[in-house]
Structure 1
Amino acid sequence: MEKDEFFLKRIRELANLSWQRDIVTFSDFLNLNEQNIVSSLKHQFPQIVMETSGGYENAERQMVAFHPDALAFTWEYPIDCLRIEPKALKFSEELSHRDYLGALLNLGVDRSVIGDIVVQKKAAWFFCQNKMTEFFLENLCRVRHTNILITKVEDSDEFPRPVLESVSGTCASVRLDSLISLAFKTSRSSMVSYIEGGQVFVNGKLITSNGYEPKDGDIISVRGKGRFIFDGISHQTKKGRCSVRIMRYV
């Protein structure tokens, strides 16, 4: 409870500071639950615009920017993208998201300064608060037993692009529990505890109803499982079931 109260206090401080000084203020990188809390507070600050970015399209961990509605100058999020690759590809290990995150946190930094980590083949990209960029460039030398090179990505065209896997199947109705079951190849009943336990978000909004019906294009995130895009109903089968398509992040 104390952690939640501290978080709420910090968000209110950032919103009030933005309004009082007519400046842009930024949160740390927030997880989906924290983003949902911030969204629920918007009505308390009608004079403040709250926007989010994680540094690239469809980022999960995002930073919130607070600024007055009539702000007269342009601004940018204080986010940098860094790329990690092995020094010697021949002797490199197969590294996972957990390996990269562990290597970063072992440097003694807080998770809140790090955004998404995108792993593709033998390389990884991660987003961080730009005040931490030089620290990471100077101190991250190894991930597990693999010696690495780390560089700042200057061109946004070189940012990672999500890799999506198409999943098709049928369900009796387009309910949240049915879609999650299809996406992660598990029983519908096993997903109930995730939904009712506050582990499922649709477009960053917490959803706790099993019967919630997502719309085409909605991004559904399940903590500990992953996320996917609901790509809609293609047709009805002869037995009246919905044939749906899902694009799952891999």
Structure 2
Amino acid sequence: MEIYQHFRKEEFPFIQQVEDWKSRVGTMYEAKLSGFLDPREREIATAVVGRDETVHVAFFGGIPGAERQRALLYPFYEEAEEHRFQVELFDVDYARKFAEIHHRDLLGALTSLGMKRELFGDITVTQDVLQFFCAKELADFIQLNLTKAGNTSLKTSSKPLSEAVGVEEEWQEDTAFVSSLRLDVVIAAIYRLPRSKVKPYIERERVKLNWKTTDHPATFVEEGDVISVRGKGRSTLIAVEERSRKGRQRIVFGRIKD
């Protein structure tokens, strides 16, 4: 299929999964609700479904612009109402005078319960608010079992989606010159790191490419790819431009700190 030409080989299994969903919806005329997908997975789902006259796809993650959203593949004669996405919002309270909980702390607490990442969506952390979205089918389980993050006691309460707090990210655009588009070379340029220090980050699985952990320094980065380096924030390769007289490639990138 022509669609495979536009994505990396490691993404082929997910493409096949979406193709299976689409085929089943088109054959059985029963909607399929996915777990929470990252933006890259949503891009794939949109490409697979395309402008199909029988099967449509829509996304929702609790608030407009959520990074992680559930996909609903449904027959053309149905509507993708918000309630069909089965998204639950939880507010988390704890003794803020004595502890501070970060995104990674709550993420660790959720995964330690045996929950797969696709079962919960965005986690919002501000000075006054700690919230997260999850699949509604797990709401009771979370209410009963999410009682601690490390040594800090937690109190969770379900809230209507209208009370969700959104946080806008500000990206700063910049440029750099690189000798190649290898992942380790691009990271060194974007994060202003010696290349010798980048390789250990990748090998120790502290780097994500398009929301997936990678340990391959030689992977080539493409326009639109999103890179995340633990402790140093996220970036995206916006454009690859002309080469300099010395043969180095000029790149345009955006960067935001977590």
Q: Shorter-chain TM-score category?
A: 0.5 to 0.7
Q: Shift of the alpha carbon at 1:184?
A: 3.2
Q: Shift of the alpha carbon at 1:35?
A: 4.0
Matching residue of 2:126: 120
Alignment length (residue pairs): 225
Distance in 2 between residues matched to 1:243 and 1:14, nearest whole Å: 37
Task: Say which of 140, 145, 149 aligns to 2:155.
Answer: 149
Say if 1:153 and 1:159, in contact at 8 Å, map to a contact too. no
Q: Shift of the alpha carbon at 1:176?
A: 10
Which has the larger displacement, 99-108 or 153-162? 153-162
Q: Shift of the alpha carbon at 1:51?
A: 2.8
Task: Say which of 21, 33, 41 aligns to 1:26.
Answer: 33
Q: Matched residue of 2:193: which SS?
A: coil
Distance in 2 between residues matched to 1:171 and 1:50, nearest whole Å: 39
Q: Shift of the alpha carbon at 1:153?
A: 2.9
Matching residue of 2:214: none
Q: Shift of the alpha carbon at 1:34?
A: 4.2
Which has the larger displacement, 138-147 or 17-26? 17-26
Distance in 1 between residues matched to 2:164 and 2:51, nearest whole Å: 39
> RMSD between aligned alpha carbons?
4.5
Distance in 2 between residues matched to 1:162 and 1:221, nearest whole Å: 18
Query: Which protein has greater RCO, CA pairs closer than 8 Å, 6+ apart?
Result: 1
Q: Matched residue of 1:164: which SS?
A: coil
Q: Shift of the alpha carbon at 1:138?
A: 2.5
Cα distance 1:223–1:90, how it changes in 2: closer, same or farther (>3 A)? closer
Give the aligned residue type for 2:193: T
Q: Matched residue of 1:159: which SS?
A: coil
The reply on whether 1:48 has 2:46 as its aligned counterpart is no
- Structure 2: gaps spanning 5 or more residues: 1-9, 212-218, 240-249
Cα distance 1:30–1:243, how it changes in 2: closer, same or farther (>3 A)? closer
Q: Shift of the alpha carbon at 1:24?
A: 3.0
Give the aligned residue type for 2:155: L
- Structure 1: gaps spanning 5 or more residues: 203-207, 233-241
Deviations 1:135-174 (CA, angstroms, capped at 9, x unpaired) = 21222111111112212231435323134364656669xx
Matching residue of 2:111: 105
Matching residue of 1:186: 193
Give the aligned residue type for 1:78: Q
Q: Matched residue of 2:139: which SS?
A: helix
Matching residue of 1:75: 81
Say if 2:238 and 2:251, in contact at 8 Å, map to a contact too. no
Identity %: 22
Distance in 2 between residues matched to 1:243 and 1:134, nearest whole Å: 47
Q: Shift of the alpha carbon at 1:83?
A: 1.8
Task: Say which of 93, 98, 102 aligns to 1:96.
Answer: 102
Q: Shift of the alpha carbon at 1:113?
A: 0.8
Distance in 2 between residues matched to 1:150 and 1:131, nearest whole Å: 16
Task: Say which of 69, 84, 88 aligns to 2:92.
Answer: 84
When normalised by structure 1's length, the TM-score is 0.64
Distance in 2 between residues matched to 1:11 and 1:17, nearest whole Å: 10
Distance in 1 between residues matched to 2:253 and 2:171, nearest whole Å: 10
Matching residue of 1:237: none
Give the aligned residue type for 2:119: V
Give the aligned residue type for 1:84: V
Matching residue of 1:205: none
Distance in 2 between residues matched to 1:7 and 1:230, nearest whole Å: 23
